Amino acid sequence: MKKAVTEAITNAIASLKEGWGLESIPYIDVEIPRNEDLGDAASTVAMGLTKTLKKPPKKIAEELLSEIVKQSGPFENIEIAGAGFINFRFKKEYLYENLQRLLSEGHPSLSAGLGQNKRIQVEFISANPTGPLHIGHGRGAAIGNALSNLLTAAGFEVEKEFYVNDAGLQVKLLGLSVYSRYQQALGNDVHFPENGYKGDYIASIAEEIIKDIGNKYLNNTFEQCGDFFISHAYKMMLSDIERDLKDFGVTFDKWQSEKELYEKGKVQGALTALQHKNFLYEKDGAKWFSSTNFGDDKDRVVVKQDGEYTYFASDIAYHKDKLDRGFDTIIDIWGADHHGYIPRIRSVLSAFGLSKEKFRVIIVQMVTLLRHGKPVQMSKRAGEFITLREVIDEVGSDTAKFIFLTRRADSQLEFDIEVAKEQSAENPVFYVQYAFARISSIFRQAEERRVRGQKDSSQYSVDSSQGTANSSHITYHALRSFRVQGTDLTALKEVEEIAIIKKLLQYPMMFEGAVFAFEPHRITYYLQDLARLFHSYYNKHRVLTDDSVITGARLSLCRAVQLALEEGLKILGVSAPEKM
C-alpha cells in the first residue's frame, strides 16, 4: 500500500525535479488518514516542499497530481484536500490482487529483508540470581521476547541473551543468607547477615539443601563451607529463574556468565585493550577509564584501590565480548533504575570503535504493582514482592504479556493484579484470541459441510496433503491446511470486507514502523484493530452461505485475517487458541 503511493510520487517528482530545481528526491511521507472518507492513503510531501520550492502547497500538490495521473497507477481516485494533502484511493482490483498475493505468499515484505540477515543481539532481563524474578522482570521479559520475535520476523538473525551476574558479592551474600537459614533450621542460632536476603525462598533453599545433604555442614563456619552454599544456592536460584521464564514462554539462546568472563581472562583482556588505546589511567591508587572522552560526565573506576575489579570492569569485558562476537547491532534492555549507566557503556563501545547507531538501549520503566488499587511495596532484601511466578499463576502468561505489550517501554505502568484477573473475560488479549478462535470455528464448520458433501462446498476444499497427520494435532493441521481454491475474491463487496482487506494491506507499513522503532507494542494495537473489524463483520454477515462463490471468497478473507492474527500473536509471544 505504502509502496504503491511512494512509487507514484517518486516518479512524479523525478519528472518534475529539473523544472523545480531539486537535486534529490525528498523523504516521502505516507500515512493512513484518520478519517477513512478522506482516502486509503495520504501524503504530505507537497506541504513539506513549500519552503524549498517557495510555492504554496496546493500548487505543488496540483503539479504532482497532474504527473501522477499520467502514470497507470492502482488508484481509483486521487485528490488534493485540506492544506495540501494528496489523498489516494485504491481501485478494488488492486485490493483483490494484493489479498490474493497475501494468501499465496504471506506478507512478502516481512521476511523479505528489512533485516538482510544481519546479526543482532538482544540482551534482556539479566536479573541477579539472588532471588526470584518479579513482575518488573516480567515486563522486560515480555518486551525483550517480543522485540526478538519482531526482528526475527523482519529477517534479522537474532540472538537472545541473559547475562548472569554470578561473580560478585551478591551471590556470596545469597550463599551466606542460605547458610544462615540452614544453620538456624538445624538449631544452630547463628546471626543472620544484616544485608542478607530475607525472603522465604531463602529458607526454602535451605530446606532443600537439608533434604540433600542433611546436617553435613552443621556448626561449620561459612569460611569452611561457603563455596558449597554459594554455588548450590546460586544454581537453584538460576534454575528457578529459568523455569519461571519457560512457563512465561520466554527462552534464551545464551546465558552468559560473568564469572566465566573472569575465568577466561576476558576482563583483564578488555582492560589491557583499553590500556593500549590509552583510555586508562591511574589516580588515587585506582585505575580509571576516561569515559569523559566519549561524553560521560565523569571518569569511571575499573580497578579499586584494593586491587579488586569493579562491577563496571566486567561489564566492559562483557560488551567488548559482544563486539568480538561480531553482531551488527547490539540491543540492551534495562530497567529504569539502570539508565544512568547508559553513557558509560556507550563510552566503552565507542572506545572500541562501534558507531553509535549500532548500540541501542531500551529502558523499560518501572511497574507499579497494585492489588485492588492499592500499591504493593516491593523490596527484594526484605523479601516483599510479587514474583513473576505469582503473576503467571494468578493472571496467566498470555494476559500478563499482552498487558505489558500494550504500553510503550518508556512509560510507567500500573499493573493491578486483581483487575487483570477480574477483567479476564473482558481482557483485550481474549478479544484478539477470540477472533482467531471464531475463525477457526468457521473452518471447522466449513470442513463439516464439505465432508457431508453439500453442493455449496464445491468452491472450497481441504488440501490434506499439507496437513501433518500428527497425533492430537490433526484438527489443527487440517485447519491450517484448509485451502480455499478457485475462489473469486471480487465477490467481497461489503464495506466491512473492503475495510478488512485494507487493514490487512496496512500490515507491512505498521510492521516496518514497529521494526524501525523497536516497538513491538504497535503489533498489539494493530491486532486489536483487526480483531475489531473482524468481530463487527462476523456479527453482520455470515461466512458460510448458500452461495458457493460468496462463501469461498469469505473463507479466503477469513484465512487472511487468521494468518495475520496468528503472525501477530506469535510475535507477541501470545498463544492463538483454536477454541475458547
Tell the smallest beta-carbon distance from residue 490 to RNA (Å). 20
Cα 54 from Cα 430, distance rounded (Å): 53
Angstrom distance (rounded) from CA 8 to CA 23: 18
401 is a site residue for RNA (CB under 7 A): no
* Beta carbon of residue 186, minimum distance to RNA (angstroms, whole number): 29
- Scanning 107-115, 141-149, 207-215, 536-544 for contacts with RNA by CB under 7 A, the matching segment is 536-544
Beta carbon nearer to RNA, 327 or 362: 362
> CB-wise, 189 or 284, nearer to RNA?
284
Q: Return the HEC string of 480-512.
A: HCEECCCCCHHHCCCHHHHHHHHHHHCHHHHHH
Instruction: Determine which residue in the list 18, 19, 23, 35 makes contact with RNA, applying CB under 7 A.
Output: 35
Q: Who contacts 240 (Cβ-Cβ below 8 Å, separation ≥6)?
A: 132, 201
Residue 161, amino acid: E
Q: Smaller CB distance to RNA: residue 44 or 556? A: 44
Return the residue of 293, 445, 485, 490 that touches RNA, per CB under 7 A: 445
Closer of 232 and 554 to RNA (Cβ): 554
169 touches 274 (CB < 8 A): no
Q: Which stretch binds RNA (CB under 7 A): 215-223, 266-274, 417-425, 461-469?
A: 417-425
Q: How far is the CB of 506 from RNA (least distance, A)?
A: 7
Give the max Cα distance, the chain.
93
Residue 522 touches RNA, criterion: CB under 7 A: yes
Residues 242, 318: Cα–Cα separation, whole Å: 21
Sign of CA dihedral 230, 232, 233, 238: positive
- 208 grid coordinates: 532443600
Q: CB-wise, 107 or 327, nearer to RNA?
A: 107
**Alpha carbon 438 to its chain's center:** 26
Rounded least distance, CB 160 to RNA, Å: 22
Please identify, among the stretches 65-73, 221-229, 380-388, 402-410, the one whose residues bind RNA according to the rule CB under 7 A: 402-410
Judged by CB under 7 A, does residue 50 bind RNA?
A: yes
**What phi and psi values does residue 575 have, to the nearest 5 degrees?**
-75, 155
Restricting to residues 542-561, which ones interact with RNA according to CB under 7 A? 542-544
37 binds RNA (CB under 7 A): yes
The residue behind cell 509502496 is 3
C-alpha cell at 571: 510475535
State the minimum distance, in angstroms, from the CB of residue 119 to RNA. Answer: 25
Instruction: Please count the other Cβ atoms lying within 10 Å of the Cβ belonging to residue 243.
Output: 11
d(CA 483, CA 17) in angstroms, rounded, equals 48
Contact between 572 and 524 (Cβ < 8 Å): yes
First to last CA, the chain: 34
Residue 312 lies near RNA (rule: CB under 7 A): yes
Nearer to RNA, 441 or 481 (CB): 441
Q: Which is nearer to RNA, 189 or 426 (CB)?
A: 426
The verdict on 566 binding RNA (CB under 7 A) reads no
**Which residues fall within 8 angstroms of residue 374, CB to CB, at 6 or more apart?**
none
Q: Give CA–CA dist 329/358, Å, rounded.
A: 5
The grid cell for 558 is 477469513
Please spell the DSSP secondary structure of 233-258, one letter per residue. HHHHHHHHHHHHHHHHT---SEEEEH
* Comparison of 153 and 217: residue with beta carbon closer to RNA: 153
Length of the chain equals 580
CB of 302 to RNA, least distance (A): 9
| Under rule CB under 7 A, residue 438 binds RNA | yes
Among 187, 306, 355, 465, binds RNA (CB under 7 A): 306
Looking at 11, 268, 406, 548, which residue binds RNA (CB under 7 A)?
406
Q: How far is the CB of 513 from RNA (least distance, A)?
A: 4
| Binding of residue 426 to RNA (CB under 7 A) | yes
Residues forming a β-bridge with 290 = none
Specify the residue, 174 or 351, whose C-beta has the smaller distance to RNA: 174
Nearer to RNA, 48 or 383 (CB): 48
Distance CA 150, CA 520 (A): 7
The label of the residue with cell 492430537 reads 472
Q: How far is the CB of 273 from RNA (least distance, A)?
A: 20
State how far the Cα of 388 lies from the Cα of 394, in Å rounded to an integer: 10
CB of residue 386 to RNA, shortest distance in Å: 16
165 near RNA, judged by CB under 7 A: yes
> How many amino acids of this chain bind RNA (CB under 7 A)?
97
In the DSSP assignment, the letter for residue 353 is T
Site for RNA in 109-128 (CB under 7 A): 128
**Binding positions for RNA, 264-303, rule CB under 7 A:** 283-286, 301
Closest approach of RNA to the CB of residue 206, in Å: 22
Q: Which of 99, 147, 151, 437 binds RNA (CB under 7 A)?
A: 437
Binding residue (CB under 7 A) for RNA from 158, 510, 564, 565? 510
Site for RNA in 167-226 (CB under 7 A): 167-170
Which one, 228 or 525, has the nearer CB to RNA? 525
Residue 54 contacts RNA per CB under 7 A: no
Closer Cβ to RNA, 236 or 533, answer by number: 533
Closer residue to RNA (CB): 136 or 217: 136
List binders of RNA among 73-92 (CB under 7 A).
Answer: 81-85, 87
What does the angle CA 399 – CA 402 – CA 405 come to, to the nearest 5 degrees?
Answer: 150
Closest to RNA by CB, 88 vs 217, is 88
CA 304 to chain centre: 38
User: Long-range contacts for 205-208 (Cβ within 8 Å, ≥24 apart)?
Assistant: 205/178, 205/181, 205/232, 205/233, 205/236, 205/237, 206/178, 206/181, 206/182, 208/236
Q: What are the DSSP E strand ranges found in 82-224?
A: 85-90, 119-123, 157-164
State yes or no: residue 509 binds RNA (CB under 7 A). Answer: yes
233 lies in the site for RNA, by CB under 7 A: no
> Is 377 near RNA (CB under 7 A)?
no
